[in-house]
Amino acid sequence: MIPSSAHPGSTPGKAPHADFLNCPTGFVEYYFADGIFRWSDGLYRMYGYERGEVVPSVEMVLPHVEPEDRPRVQAYWDHVASHGGPSSIYVSIRDRKDRQHKLLYSADYILDGTTPIGVWGVVVDLTTSIHTDRHQLATEAVAASALNRAVIEQAKGILMGRTGVTADRAYELISQLSQDTNRKVYAVAQDIVDRATSRAGGPENKGHPLL
């Protein structure tokens, strides 16, 4: 819990760390005495607004929250306002242009000595980070798929040259060996390629007739 004189929301609009999670960040303060939410400029921008266009409130925020998350957001605010924190929640919102954002809220009491006088919170927009991770995973998956296909095609070529079977039959033989040995098709194909390469440079290995 952070005293009111030292908490990071004491100057709305100025984040203490510009690179916080390398994601857009906003701050909010709410004092029980006046019941007013004070947003940083960054938080307004997450919702697609500029300062002065809207009056921040729970009622203003909820319509932006995805319907399935609204009860959780209301319960989260009620809990933080009555019990403090630190407490966090992950929710999806739609800004005023209907673009989805994935936000992480974290909040705690503002204290005057030991007396809670309000709530402060930090909001981190994880949307870009999540999309980047997903794009990287997708790129890696495509690259891995291409590599797997190349190895399988190479193994098929080896079997075709060694046994005289067609490409389709070569793949059937690799698939059957995959099932017989409870291994992935790619792993079997890689073994065929590795052993063919080994035989080309040294003594033959004994084992399965396809290998």
Mean pLDDT of 194-203: 67
Q: What is the pLDDT of residue 25?
A: 87
pLDDT by residue (tens digit) across 61-97?
A: 999 999 999 999 999 999 999 999 889 999 999 999 9
| pLDDT of 204 higher than 80 | no
**Which domains are assigned to the chain?**
2-125 (3.30.450.20), 136-201 (1.10.10.10)
- Per DSSP, the residues of 104-131 read EEEEEEEEETTEEEEEEEEEEE-HHHHH
pLDDT-derived band at 201 (thresholds 50, 70, 90) equals very low
Mean pLDDT of the chain: 80
Any long-range contacts for 47-52 (C-beta under 8 Å, 24+ apart)? Answer: 47/93, 47/95, 47/96, 48/95, 48/96, 48/97, 48/99, 49/96
Ramachandran region of residue 164, left (φ > 0), alpha (ψ -120 to 50) or beta? left
Q: What is the pLDDT of residues 116-141, one digit of tens each?
A: 999 999 988 888 766 655 556 555 55
What band does 178 get if pLDDT is binned at 50, 70 and 90?
Answer: confident
Comparing 71 with 23, the larger pLDDT belongs to: 71
Rounded to an integer, the average pLDDT of 191-205 is 69
Find the angle CA(13)-CA(15)-CA(16) to the nearest 5 degrees.
145
